[in-house]
Chain A
Amino acid sequence: MKRHITRREFLRLSAVMAAGAVAAACGPAPTPTTPPKPTAVPAQPTKAPEPTKPPAAKYSEAPMLADLVKAGKLPAVEQRVSDEPLVLKAIEEIGQYGGTWRRAWKGPADFHAYGRLNYEPILRWPRNPKDPVQAGLAKKWEFSPDGKTLTLYFRKGLKWSDGTPWTVDDIIFWWEDIELNKDLTSAPHAEWVVNGKNMTLKKIDDTTIQYNFDGPNGLVVRMLAFHGNQWPLNFERFGAFAPAHYLKQFHPKYNKDIKDYKLFNEKADDLSPGRPAMTPWTVAQYKAGDAKLIATRNPYYWKVDEKGQQLPYIDQIELTLVQNNDAVAALALSCEIDMQFRSMDLRKYSLFKENEQKCGYRVFRWPSAQGTALALWPNQSYAADSVLRDIFQNKDFRIALSYAIDRKKINTITYLDQGVIRSEMVVPDSAFYVPEVESLYMDYDPKKAAEYLDKAGLKMGPDGKTRLRPDGKTLEITIETERTGAELDALQLIVENWNAVGVKTALKTMTRDAFWPRATGNEVQISVWSTDRGLEPFVDPIYIFPFDERSWMAPAYGIYYKTAGAQGVKPTGKFAEAQALFDQFKATIDSAKQLEIGKQLVKMATEEVWTIQTVGMVPAPCIVKNNFRNVPEKYTQDWIFMSPGNLDPSHFFFKK
C-alpha cells in the first residue's frame, strides 16, 4: 500500500519545491527598511501559490546579518538558507526585521518556555490541527507499501547554526550514540520499537535516510513532528537528531580523554550557549541562574517568507527568570512582556485587561486543549480493596458520580465562567472530535444520581444519609489531589455534592511529589488531574484508555499494556478492547483508518465515563503587544502541538 497523498499535500510539496520560483516572482528582494504592503487577501495556509518562473533564488536578510556579510564574516544569504528553503505563508502579513521579544520563564525546569519558541522538528505539526503533519527539515516522506520502511527526503544544503552542513549522519549519531546509549537513555523510546525490536537506519545519501521497522509503524510520522524538537539530552530525552560534529568532542566514545557523560550532558543541553541548532534563535548568553536568557537569530535558518526574506524577523528573545506565575503577571502588568500565554493565570485576566491601554497590548483568550481542567478518576484497578474496585468498575456508579456534580458552580467559582462544561476527551478543533459525545451525563441532577446509585446496588443505609457497599460496610471513598487554590475549592464542592447523594467522600491534599508516586503506584482511590492533549491524543494516549502508569482510570492495566503483559494486571472487557484498538492504530499507516479508530476510541472513553470530566477548554490569557503581529486571535493551545510552536514563531514580528 502506497502512502496516500492528498491534493492539498501535493500542492504544499510543490510549493516547497517552487520556493525559489515564488521568491523570484515577487521581484527584486525588498530592502528591509521599506515596510511591506499588507497582503490584500487574508493568508490561507493550505493553499499554495502557483509557480510562475523557474527557480532563480534571490533572498534578503536582516540588516544585522547583512553587515556581517559585508564585513566578510558570514557567507551570502543565498548560501546560508539552503538550496530548498521552506517558504512560510504568513498568518497575517509579511513582516519586518528587528526587535527583542521579551518573555518570562521559571528556569530550566520550565524548559517548554524556551523549547516551544524554537520548535524545529524533522516534520511539523500543522497550524490547523485538522490538517495532516507538514514538511519540516524533511521536505517529503514516503512509506513502503508494507508500512515497514519510511524514507525521509531532507532539504538540500541545510546548515547548522554554526554553518556546518546538516546531514542524515546527525540522525544516525543521535540514534546510535544517544538513544541506544544506556548511559544516556535507559531504553529507546517506544515509538522507535516495533514488535519489541529497535528500528534500524539506512543512509541512502547525505539527505536521504530510511527508517526500517519490524512491522508497520503508524505512529512514527506523528512522533517525528512531536519528538523532533531538539531536546535529546534534557531530562526528558526527547529528540530525533543531534549535532554530531559538535557533540562528538564531548562523547566518551569519540574522545578518549572524557570518562563520563557529565560534560556531554551539559554541552548537549538546549540551553548551553554554543550548541549548534536548527532553530530560528540560538542561545547566545546564558548561565544557570542568570536573570536573563538571551537567544539571538540563527544566521543559517532555512526558512524564508513569500518575499524571500530570511526568517526569523525578530532579532532576539529575552527570557526573564522569575519565581512563579504571580511574578510573570507582575512583569506583564509593568508592560515588560511582548507576547506570552505560558504561565499566565486566567484569574488575572481582568487585571491584564485593565492594563491593555496603558501597555498597548491585546489580551487573547486561547482555550487550552483540555478535555477537562479538573478530571477525577475512580481507580478501576484499585488493589487494596476489591469491593471498592468492583464498585468503581460499575459504569452506573460512575454515571451517578457524574450526575451528582454541580459543574455550573465549579465553572463560576474556579474558572470565572470561562470554561466549557463538557464530557468529551478531545476538543472540537481536533481531527478526532465526535460531536455526539460532547456532553454526556453532564447535567447536575442529584435525583438521577440517586437512581443510578440504586441501580448499581448501593442501597441507602439506615441513617438515610450514607449508602452501603454490597458487603454491608459504609461506602467511603477518598479523593487524593495535589491541587491548590481555586481548584481545591472546586474539589471541596464535589465532595459536598457526592456526600449529598450518600457517597461518603473524603479529600486528601498533598504535594505533587507525594501525590505522583502514589497515583502512578496504583495506591489512590480517586485521582485528580487535568486531561490535556485534547487535539492529538494518540501521541501519548494516557487519558483515553489504560496506556501506562499515568492512566489513572486503571494504572495497573496501563502497566500491563506498557510492559506487554510482563507486569501489572490483565484488563478485560472494554479496556482490553480499547488497548486492542490502539494496537491496530499503531499498526496501520492509512490515515483514514487511523482517524476512524481514533474516533472510536474517543467515543468509547467518553461513553464509558472512565474519566469524570467537569469543566474544560479553560482559556489562558495571551498577552500580545499591539504591534506584535502574525499571532491569531483564535487558537487552541496544547503542549503536544508545542504551542505556540506550530504557529511558526519565526515569522512573528514587530510592526513599525
Chain B
Amino acid sequence: MITFIVRRLLAMIPTLFLVSVLTFIIIELPPGDFMTSLAANVGTSGSSMDEMTVNNLRRQYGLDQPIYVRYVKWISGFPRGDFGYSLDWRRPVSELIVGRLGLTLLLSLISLAIMWIIAVPIGIYSATHQYSLGDNILSFLGFLGLSVPDFLLGLVYLAVGIFGFGVSVTGLYSGNMESAPWSLAKVLDLANHLFWPALILGAAGMAQLIRIMRSSLLEILGQQYITTARAKGLKEQVVINKYAVRVAINPLISVMGMQLPQLISGATILGIVLTLPTNGPFFYRALQSQDMYLAGTFLLFLSLMLMLGNLLADIALAWADPRIRLE
C-alpha cells in the first residue's frame, strides 16, 4: 500500500511539470501581455501610456525576457514558496492564493459531503422502491439536477435570496458580519453562506450519484447471495444495509475521482456568480488581464488538487473493496 502511494506521488512530478509547461504556453498564446492590457485600461481612464512607458514597465517586471527565461524563473521559485508576482494586484502570488485555494477546497469538500449524505439514502430508497411514486418523483428530480447547470442554479438562488427574502446571498458573510468578532451568530452566518453554494455545486453530481447508487443496488439485489440472505430469514434492513449497500457503493467511490474536476471547475463559475472569495473570480480575472504568474499558479495548484483527489479516491476504493489489488 505504501509503495503504491509513494509510486503514485512520484509519478505526479513529471505530470505536474508537463502541466506547468503547458499552462505557461497557453497563457502566453493570446497576443499582447499584461502591459498591453494595462495600457488599454489606463488609456480609457487616465493618461495615455506610450510605448516607452510600457517598455519601461516591461523591463521592470521582467516581461521583456524570452518565455523560457521567465518560465525557469517562475518555476524555480516554487520550492521556496515563491510563485512569482501578480502584476494586477501588485503583490506576491503566494499572498493572494493561499486563503482562496483553501476556501475552494473547503467548498468542494462540503459539497462532496452533502452529495454523499443526500445521494446514498435516496439511491437506496429508489432501488428498494423501484417504480413507486417516490422513485419516479426522485428520478425526475435527479434528471433535473443533472441537466440544470450549476451557475444557473446559482443565479436562481441569487434572485430568490434578493427578491424573495431580501437577504444578502453573495460573499461569505452578510452585512457587517465580516468585521464582527467571532460568535455563534457569525458562525451560523458563514455556514448559511457556505451551505447553499455547496448544495448548488453538488446538485449535478448528486443526481449522478443517485442514478449510480440506484442501478448498482438494483443489480446487487437481484444476485443470489441476497436471495440466500433473505432465505436465511435475515431482516430486510440487515440484508440491504449490511450485504447489498456495501457492495453497491463501490462504483460511487470510483466515480468520486472523476467528480472532483467537475466540482472544482464548477466552483470557479459559481464563485463568480455568487462573489465568493474562492479562486474563481480571481482566476478568471487573472486570465483576462494576462496576469500570467497568478493564473499559472492557480492552474498548477488546481491540477495538483485534482491528482491528489484521484489518488485519495483510489486509496478509498482499495480500502472499501477488498477485491481490489493495488500492486
Contacts and interface: CB of A to CB of B under 8 A. Distances in A.
Contacts of A100: 176
B113 interface: no
A334 B161 CA distance: 9
Interface in B257-294: 272, 275, 277, 281-282, 284-285, 289-290
A236 B32 CA distance: 19
Interface string B51-79: 01101110010000000000000000000
Given A237-B53, A529-B44, 11 more contacts: A182-B56, A183-B60, A186-B52, A186-B53, A187-B52, A327-B275, A331-B170, A334-B169, A514-B30, A548-B48, A548-B50
Interface in A234-251: 235-238
10 contacts: A107-B285, A238-B46, A266-B90, A289-B282, A334-B174, A358-B166, A512-B37, A513-B32, A514-B31, A529-B44
Interface in B4-60: 30-32, 36-50, 52-53, 55-57, 60
A513 B30 contact: yes
A521 to B, nearest CB: 10
A549 B52 CA distance: 13
A330 B91 contact: no
Contacts of B31: 513-514, 517
B52 A109 contact: no
Contacts of B179: 292, 294
A516 interface: yes
A261 B158 contact: no
Interface string B155-199: 000100111001111111011101100000000000000000000
Nearest to B33: A513
B175 A291 contact: no
Interface residues of A, number: 52
The 3 closest A-B pairs by CB, nearest first: A516-B40, A288-B91, A288-B89
B156 to A, nearest CB: 13
B88 interface: yes
Given A236-B47, A334-B167, A287 B32 contact: no
B219 interface: no
Given A334-B167, A334-B168, A289 B91 contact: yes
Contacts of B281: 323
Nearest to B163: A333
Contact of B170 (A261, A266, A327, A639): A327
A117 to B, nearest CB: 16
Contacts of A515: 40
A288 B43 contact: no
A43 B207 CA distance: 64
A568 to B, nearest CB: 12
Given A288-B95, A289-B95, A331-B170, A107 B88 contact: yes
A516 B46 CA distance: 14
Nearest to B41: A109
A109 B169 contact: no
Interface of B: 30-32, 36-50, 52-53, 55-57, 60, 86, 88-91, 95-96, 100, 158, 161-163, 166-172, 174-176, 178-179, 272, 275, 277, 281-282, 284-285, 289-290
Contact of B275 (A109, A237, A322): A322
B47 A186 contact: no
A109 B53 contact: no
A112 interface: yes
Interface string A90-126: 0000000000100000011100100000000000000
Nearest to A189: B47
Nearest to A639: B45
A452 to B, nearest CB: 32
A330 B158 CA distance: 8
Interface string A513-525: 1111100100000
Contacts of B272: 323-324
Nearest to A518: B31
A269 interface: yes
Nearest to A359: B166
A549 B53 CA distance: 14
Contacts of A307: none
A633 interface: no
Contacts of A131: none
Given A238-B47, A292-B178, A512-B40, A330 B162 contact: yes
A550 interface: yes
Interface string A178-189: 000011001101
Contact of A323 (B47, B163, B275): B275
Contacts of A542: 48
Contacts of B45: 112, 639
Contact of A236 (B42, B161, B168, B277): B42
Nearest to B161: A334
B42 A514 contact: no
Given A323-B285, A334-B166, A513 B40 contact: yes
Contacts of A336: 168, 175
A291 B170 CA distance: 12
Nearest to A529: B44
B49 to A, nearest CB: 8
Contacts of A50: none
A489 interface: no
A321 B57 CA distance: 26
Contacts of A513: 30-32, 36-37, 40, 290
A269 B88 contact: no
A636 interface: no
A429 B170 CA distance: 39
A265 interface: yes
Nearest to B155: A326
Nearest to A226: B47
Contacts of B168: 331, 334, 336
Interface string A315-345: 0000011111001001101111000000000
Contacts of A516: 36, 39-40, 43
B171 A108 contact: no
B271 to A, nearest CB: 8
Contacts of B172: 291
Contacts of A562: 50
Nearest to B162: A333
A323 B286 CA distance: 12
A417 interface: no
Contacts of A390: none
A562 B44 CA distance: 18
A288 B46 contact: no
Given A187-B52, A288-B91, A334-B168, A261 B60 contact: yes
Contacts of B282: 289
Given A261-B60, A330-B158, A336-B175, A291 B277 contact: yes
A540 interface: yes
B155 to A, nearest CB: 10
A18 B44 CA distance: 41
A265 B90 CA distance: 9
A336 B38 CA distance: 30
Interface in A190-238: 235-238
A330 B48 contact: no
Contact of B57 (A235, A288, A327): A235
